[in-house]
Amino acid sequence: MSGTEFADLDALARLVGQVPARDWSDEHDRLDLYRSALRNGVDDDRLRALLRGEPDDLVVSDVLAEAIYKASPEAGERWLDVAPPSAMDFLKKRLREILLLRGVAGFEDGGTSYVAAVLDGSNWLQIRVAENSPRRDVLMALAKDGRTKRIRNIAANRAATRASRG
pLDDT digit string (tens) for 43-66? Answer: 999 999 999 999 999 999 999 999
**Residue boundaries of the structural domains of the chain:** 1-88, 106-166
57: helix, coil or strand?
Answer: helix
Confidence category of residue 12, pLDDT binned at 50, 70, 90: very high
Q: Give Cα 90 distance to the centre of its chain.
A: 10
- d(CA 132, CA 93) in angstroms, rounded, equals 20
SS (H, E, C) 4-56: HHHHHHHHHHHHCCCCCCCCCCCHHHHHHHHHHHHHCCCCHHHHHHHHHCCCC
pLDDT digit string (tens) for 116-161? Answer: 999 999 999 999 999 999 889 999 999 999 999 999 999 999 999 8
